[in-house]
Structure 1
Amino acid sequence: MPARGWRETAAIYAHPRVVTFLFLGFSAGLPFLLVFSTLSAWMKRSDVSLATIGFASWIGITYSIKFVWSPVVDRVPLPLLTRWLGRRRAWLLLSQAGIGLGLLAMSFCDPRTELALLVTFSVIVAFSSATQDIALDAFRIEATDKSLQGPTAATYQLGYRIAVLIASAGALYVAAFYSWPVAYQAMAAFALVGIVTTLVVSEPPKRIEVATEEREAKVSEFAGRYAQLHPALRNAIVWIYGAIVCPFVDFFVRFRWVGVLLLAFIALFRLCDIPMGVMAYPFYLGLGFDELQIANISKIFGSVMTGLGALLGGVLVFRLGPARLLVLSVILIAGSNLTFAWLSALGRADSLVLTIAISVDNLAGGFSGSVFIAFLSGLTNTAYTATQYALFTSLMLLPGKILGGYSGVIVEWLQASARDVPVLAALLDWMNAAPKYQGFTLFFIYTTLLGLPALLLAIPVNRYFAKETPPSAKKEGQ
């Protein structure tokens, strides 16, 4: 079948399932910053120490270890809710309720006198948010065929970024004109977007491939071997085998040795992006930008550019398939860091250059996000969607988060000692870099180089999937 025209390609964004993920993406993006940078701003305004604020950032580990309880979300039915809504929507509703109620509870806490309680409710929000991610990723993959994976990834990202904008700049504006408790109460009200969407949409059908059915049959055979055990113990062993062992076995049965290559590529894909993001806000402030400039350029304008990049990525995934765009995606997200090296080398708060840097970085991030979400979605088996996708996304974040923890140390060392290394000194002279910010200049170049391992792995990954038919050449439902 010939590939669809560009007009038909663009019209795919009017598909009901594609539109649905604009709202579900919003639900996924809303809580993220409310337990990170926005919470840090509230704590800072409440005179909480920097050390305590730093410790509170460990709440984010919840997102990196969500694969631990993803088998539960994948397999365990919820009393009453599963019968009423279905497997995926039941977990979505429960987690979305946890987000909304957790944010509302946070609004009644005073960081000065009830910090422990505030952090406790923040952990509940983060855990509920991570659980929502597990169920939502499974829902997205199961609710759409492969021809819609790119567009749904794009609208999901667009909704996500709109929510991030509201949870960051929006919350800051409400806090400035009213108060922080009112800001968090407003954010809790926005949680209704996800709840209403979950109640309105239909449950996706459960699709199991023939090969998967054969492997599931082996679970029954496995259970028969332990018939003599106590029923509770036997059921626990069988559940672990079917919910945890089978998803991993399935992945390597389908991809064999290439599975190792794929997992390595997933782990390295955002290695250049996450450590850079850790130092972005301190870098802006250090250059002399104020909070209003950062909010307007980085949050508002940046979110628009991310949305445009996500939509562009979704269209090209639909036309070409995600694997063909992996090399370009790595080049874009790694190369965009050089625009910040340029800004740092100037050594002054140049709004035009910051706008250019934010534009390039967010456009690249949105584009690569759509490509990578669609790529990861294609790697999962619909029988184990939640478990496998949670593993992929956790693996994608963990190395960058670990390395990102050392970002400040690296900047300080480069600032103090770079001139002692002849090659680095020559590079700084060639760039005519401002001495006061030379640590940041070299740091952004370093984060660019962190993209090389992912680029080297993207080439064989692309070759492995090169013969796949692009979604635009497939009939819907294939």
Structure 2
Amino acid sequence: MNARPEAPAAASSLYTNRRVAPLLALGFASGLPLALTTGTLQAWATVDGVSLQAIGFLTLVGSAYTLKFLWAPLMDRYTPPLLGRRRGWMAVTQLLLALSIMAMGLLSPGQALLPLALIAVFVAFCSASQDIAFDAYRTDVLRKEERGAGAAVSVLGYRLAMLVSGGLALVIADSWLGWGNTYILMGVLMALAILATLWAPEPEAPAAAPATLGEAVAGPLLEFFRRPGAIVLLVLIVLYKLGDAFAGSLSTAFLIRGAGFSATEVGTINKVLGLGATIIGALAGGALLAKLRLYGSLMLFGLLQAVSNLGFWLIAVSPKSIVLMAAAVGVENLCGGMGTAAFVALLMALCNHRFSATQFALLSALSAVGRTYLAGPLAPPMVEAYGWPSFFLVTVLIGLPGMALLWWRRADIRALDRA
């Protein structure tokens, strides 16, 4: 974690300064390819009459996103000839993404499924690589008081890209351009992201790259585990959003099956109100983080995101009400967005700038452990054993150990603001 000179930033200038503003477009570029290799590609294959078994095979395309930490050391060690270590890799991956997404548009799943799937695998690999470079760049370029705002703007860009490459792409393909031309259009949008990479500034004090590939592989782990309380910090990363993950893992199923709302009602509330509340929460969290600092933000937002699960408990014990459902979803997403802004700021603060590509990739992979291996498998039997009301009460309690651990190690978290 490199020290750098800084001055307190006014909240009004956080989102417009040269280091934070480009992250909106760069976050958009980060989110654009995901749906094009998952949901949108599956929709295209379905329309083209591809079998369900083959469509199921397409879910393997996104494996690169969970394995990206394996080649992150290469992006720490080596520097492209132009634009520096972080922006250089961003520009390279964005160019490859633009060309490969357009190439997908020249094929069709009904006639050339295997070549299309192979290109989609390459798109996912380039997209995961872009994420590595972008996360490292964001970590390196932001000052401490800008981390929350930078995380918020990135989330906003990413969510907007998911809307464009997900729902909007389906509308464009079905009603206007057709599938192939829609993918070509998405490739053009990706190419425009290179302009944001060119506009984005270099970090104020770029850290030296690892001297050898061996150092790039081993250095991030050795540097991290030499810190006091390193193991406890890793446990905190797993626990911080665990209660939120348990509640969110079955929230849609609960609203439809448990509370009796229609899929249209749930989809409309989740997509419109839920997305808007998440964005507002992330932006508000980013601004508040500059005032509350890292520990205060993590504690306040963490408690709010745990308590907000009570909204689903209230739905479970109350008569059916669309207003109550909208309020609960809105509050839960608002608090979750605030918690996400603080949590991403924590991950950035924990990274040493020499190894930020590898360390951020590893820490973000670790943060998914609770959601993937605990919440996903354990939530359904908990509901079957205890029922929906008790389940959501338990999710509040699941969020408390992370808060206790955060309070216990508050000195370590406060030290990150001084580093």
The TM-score normalised by the length of structure 1 is: 0.75
Aligned match of 1:363 = 334
Tell me which amino acid in the other structure corresponds to 2:337: G
Rounded Cα–Cα distance in structure 1 between residues aligned with 2:250 and 2:116: 26
Query: Among 298, 302, 308, which residue is 1:330 paired with?
Result: 302
Rounded Cα–Cα distance in structure 2 between residues aligned with 1:43 and 1:275: 32
Once the two structures are superposed, what CA deviation does each residue of 1:407-454 show, in whole Å capped at 9, x if it has no partner? 6xx53x567x53xxxxx3xxxxxxxxxxxxx5x555545544442332
Please state how far the C-alpha of 1:114 moved relative to its aligned partner. Answer: 3.6
**Contact 1:108-1:181 at 8 Å conserved across structures:** yes
Please state how far the C-alpha of 1:142 moved relative to its aligned partner. Answer: 1.7
- 3-state SS, counterpart of residue 322 of structure 1: helix
Task: Flag the 1:190–1:400 CA change in 2: closer, same or farther, 3 A.
Answer: same
Residues 1:305 and 2:254 aligned together: no
Aligned match of 1:204 = 203
Please state how far the C-alpha of 1:402 moved relative to its aligned partner. Answer: 2.7
Gaps of 5+ in 1: 220-237, 419-423, 425-437, 471-477
Query: Among 19, 22, 40, which residue is 1:20 paired with?
Result: 22
Residues 1:164 and 2:162 aligned together: yes
Task: Flag the 1:442–1:381 CA change in 2: closer, same or farther, 3 A.
Answer: same
Please state how far the C-alpha of 1:197 moved relative to its aligned partner. Answer: 0.7
Aligned match of 2:373 = 402
Residues 1:320 and 2:320 aligned together: no
Superposed CA RMSD in Å reads 3.1
**Contact 1:311-1:367 at 8 Å conserved across structures:** yes
Residues 1:251 and 2:199 aligned together: no
**Contact 1:272-1:400 at 8 Å conserved across structures:** no
Rounded Cα–Cα distance in structure 2 between residues aligned with 1:175 and 1:200: 31
Residues 1:289 and 2:247 aligned together: no
Task: Flag the 1:355–1:121 CA change in 2: closer, same or farther, 3 A.
Answer: farther
Aligned match of 1:184 = 183
Rounded Cα–Cα distance in structure 2 between residues aligned with 1:35 and 1:446: 36
Aligned match of 2:74 = 72
Once the two structures are superposed, what CA deviation does each residue of 1:133-191 show, in whole Å capped at 9, x if it has no partner? 11111111222222322222222222222222223332233244234444433332321
Tell me which amino acid in the other structure corresponds to 2:83: L
**Contact 2:305-2:339 at 8 Å conserved across structures:** yes
Rounded Cα–Cα distance in structure 1 between residues aligned with 2:45 and 2:254: 20
Rounded Cα–Cα distance in structure 1 between residues aligned with 2:307 and 2:131: 29
Query: Among 98, 104, 107, which residue is 2:105 paired with?
Result: 107
Once the two structures are superposed, what CA deviation does each residue of 1:107-132 show, in whole Å capped at 9, x if it has no partner? 34433444433432332222212111
Task: Flag the 1:366–1:50 CA change in 2: closer, same or farther, 3 A.
Answer: farther
Query: Among 34, 45, 58, which residue is 1:32 paired with?
Result: 34
The percentage of counterpart residues that share the same residue type is 33
Please state how far the C-alpha of 1:457 moved relative to its aligned partner. Answer: 1.9
**Contact 2:74-2:213 at 8 Å conserved across structures:** no
Once the two structures are superposed, what CA deviation does each residue of 1:387-423 show, in whole Å capped at 9, x if it has no partner? 111111111113422335526xx53x567x53xxxxx
Please state how far the C-alpha of 1:339 moved relative to its aligned partner. Answer: 2.7
Gaps of 5+ in 2: 1-6
Tell me which amino acid in the other structure corresponds to 2:306: A
Aligned match of 2:242 = 271
Rounded Cα–Cα distance in structure 2 between residues aligned with 1:13 and 1:342: 36
**Contact 1:64-1:398 at 8 Å conserved across structures:** no
Query: Among 239, 250, 267, which residue is 2:213 paired with?
Result: 239
Tell me which amino acid in the other structure corresponds to 2:223: D
Tell me which amino acid in the other structure corresponds to 2:66: S
Rounded Cα–Cα distance in structure 2 between residues aligned with 1:205 and 1:332: 35
Task: Flag the 1:101–1:288 CA change in 2: closer, same or farther, 3 A.
Answer: farther
**Contact 1:341-1:444 at 8 Å conserved across structures:** yes
Please state how far the C-alpha of 1:252 moved relative to its aligned partner. Answer: 2.3
Please state how far the C-alpha of 1:384 moved relative to its aligned partner. Answer: 1.3
Rounded Cα–Cα distance in structure 1 between residues aligned with 2:149 and 2:48: 42
Please state how far the C-alpha of 1:469 moved relative to its aligned partner. Answer: 5.4
Aligned match of 1:391 = 362
Please state how far the C-alpha of 1:263 moved relative to its aligned partner. Answer: 0.9
Aligned match of 1:382 = 353
Tell me which amino acid in the other structure corresponds to 2:289: V
Please state how far the C-alpha of 1:314 moved relative to its aligned partner. Answer: 0.8
Query: Among 9, 12, 15, which residue is 1:10 paired with?
Result: 12
Task: Flag the 1:354–1:195 CA change in 2: closer, same or farther, 3 A.
Answer: farther
Once the two structures are superposed, what CA deviation does each residue of 1:255-281 show, in whole Å capped at 9, x if it has no partner? 22x100011111233333445545445
